[in-house]
Amino acid sequence: MTETQNQTPRLVISWLVVGIPIVYALYQTIKSILPLFGG
């Protein structure tokens, strides 16, 4: 059980490091594509 507790913060930080740039890129892509569809 202690190994799982030790890996949890590392897992969360890893997902944040990967997830934040992906979410930002998706936001920028959607924002730049909307005018093409008359948004």
Please report whether residue 19 resides in a domain: yes
Please list the rounded mean pLDDT of every run of 10 residues in the chain (39 residues): 82 97 98 89
**Domains: count for the chain:** 1
Please report whether residue 20 resides in a domain: yes
> What pLDDT does residue 34 have?
94
Per-residue burial over 12-23, b if 16 or more Cβ lie within 10 Å, else e, is eeeeeeeeeeee
Q: What is the mean pLDDT of the chain?
A: 91
Please report whether residue 1 resides in a domain: no
Please report whether residue 2 resides in a domain: no
Query: What residues make up the domain containing 16?
Result: 7-36
